[in-house]
Amino acid sequence: MKIKAVIFDMDGTITKPYFDFNLIRKEIGLDENSEPLLEAMEKMSPSERAKAEVILHHHEQKAIDASELNDYAAETVSALRSEGFPIGILTRNKKENAHVVLNKLGLEFDEVLGREDGPVKPDPFGVIELCKRFEVDPAETLVVGDYLFDILSAIEAGAISVLLLNNKKEPGFARIAHYRIDNLGQVLDIIRE
């Protein structure tokens, strides 16, 4: 099937990996093996959550300041734009933070969905919503990310999942991704297959 749109994760995909989620969990007072951060925060009391949000905000601000483009990100986004592909960002980060990072790095996307827009990955909501906005079928859409939640949201939505390995050993969940790539430039190879 022909690819008609591409959805990217931001942190660790468009940008180089930065977040240390174990450190953030520790500072918040969560066990490093606890459920995902945002889901754990939803179950906190209002006062606990307010404290956790301050800590998370601090780390997100540091990530904005330190953000760097991942290898081949600019070239890949530029090629997709020049070829007329609708491209989007789907992040568990705040939408405002995504816009700040993308502006800082000089990248333009057609749509950006953040955690305040609806259920977060691994829920398929964001993939389905972006496909609606792009007027494409999920089966004609690549979803590119560096973590399990990116892959699960793509698969659940019926899209094509692409796992960016960021030059590290393949995680155990890599086998469920439709494609595994070592750099973002390989997204163009998948589209041209």
Instruction: Map out the domains of the chain with their CATH numbers.
Output: 5-16+68-192 (3.40.50.1000), 21-66 (no CATH)
Residue 19 pLDDT: 67
- Assigned token pair, 61: 């601000």
- The better pLDDT of the pair 14, 44 is held by 14
The size of the chain, in residues, is: 193
| pLDDT at site 48 | 85
| φ, ψ (nearest 5 deg) of residue 122 | -85, 5
Joined together, the tokens standing for residue 104 give: 């800082």
Say whether pTM exceeds 0.95. Answer: no
Q: Are strands 87-90 and 5-8 parallel, antiparallel or unpaired?
A: parallel
- For residue 86, give the 3-state DSSP assignment: coil
Q: What is the pLDDT of residue 171?
A: 79
Please say if the pLDDT value at position 50 is more than 70: yes
Give the DSSP letter of residue 179: E
pLDDT band at 158 (very low <50, low <70, confident <90, very high): very high
